[in-house]
Structure 1
Amino acid sequence: MYNLHIATIAIMAANVLVSLRGFSDITFFERYKFSISGIRAGQRERTVTSGFLHVDISHLFLNMFTLYFFANVVINWFGPGKFLIIYFISLIAGSLLALFFHKNEPHYSAVGASGAVIGILYAAILLRPDMQLGIMFIPIPLPAYVLGIAYLLYSIYGMKSRHGNIGHTAHFGGAIGGYVTTLLFKPDLFVTDTLIVILLAIPIIILFVLEKMGKI
């Protein structure tokens, strides 16, 4: 059995409890979701509270299922304290990037732990680049860093095309948060896994180059 650390259980419990409240109380949901207009009005707590709300059970399950698989990789390397720091920095980074890219869209809103969870996923990839991950429709597992890079490139595409009802910007921001914080905690990765560090940085550089060029 895959043993969960109490820190992971606490994060999961918070997501479940807040999401269940949001499912049954639309006023609560609207008050604490990520909202450009709400944040502009001074409700900055939305940048954090939105990360514990979800649209429905399947949205909640997918995020918690992903966290279930990768939380222990980070905890085993860094301990629960730094795991929680990476989680919350990734959550906030996702919100801040969404705020930056959508600042002129007062009706833009989003919910979900995806930014924080993807931050943990990217931390795990940096720490264990040898991991093999499976994906639907591809019969063989692929190196984790390949899927990580591919996902960020897909997120850039999603941000450009507004493809699907998905918070691509928050996902990308969460990945940046997990990437940067992991390197701050373990700077020797620049030496021991230089190629992986560079490869994972490429989509981040592409995003900001495109933004500077006005392409996103």
Structure 2
Amino acid sequence: MKYLIITIFSAFLVGCVSTMPKAGISQTYNHVGAKVTSPSEPNWYLMKHTDPSVVFGKEYSDKSETAIANTYLYWIGEFPTDKEFFDKVIESRKTFDNKARFKQLELNYETLTFKGRPCLKYSGVAEDHGDKGLESKDFQYFKNQGYICRTNLNHTTALLMEVSHRSDNKEFPQNLDNVALEFFNNIELTAY
């Protein structure tokens, strides 16, 4: 799925984050279908801001550690029920998963209402072996959590809201868990 490509590409860019503009603390960015607020802590950079997406990257002193907070609007198709819509989302995520690079260790989905919209909440942990292949013992843990919600725009599009972390540690950092909670809560779904 396109969000995975963006997340991977964004994670790569975090290494070059010093050339990116600072996101500003709790600054609002608009894109189609959402108003997104940057994290309320320092050292987050604006990596991308387009009509369908906003991507923030976190700078860490350990350059092997990266964090991304992003939103991405994308087309799913016309499905009469939320169940069919989210079944398609899950199937699409499986189809676009790079099985030569990622070994999925955990993956959880839950359907719920978030921001007044039907959403699919997810979280996962994977080994990211990069281009070394799954047999390699050299990898980092890629942890992500987020929501995929039917938008206020129409019945065919979804908004992905995700915070991800890549490091040598399998656990999602508590401080980033708090950033994620705030990031998700501050997103406003719009009809334009």
- With structure 1 as the length reference, what TM-score do the two structures score? 0.23
| Structure with the largest fraction of strand | 2
Please state which structure has a larger fraction of its residues in helix: 1
TM-score where L is the length of structure 2: 0.25
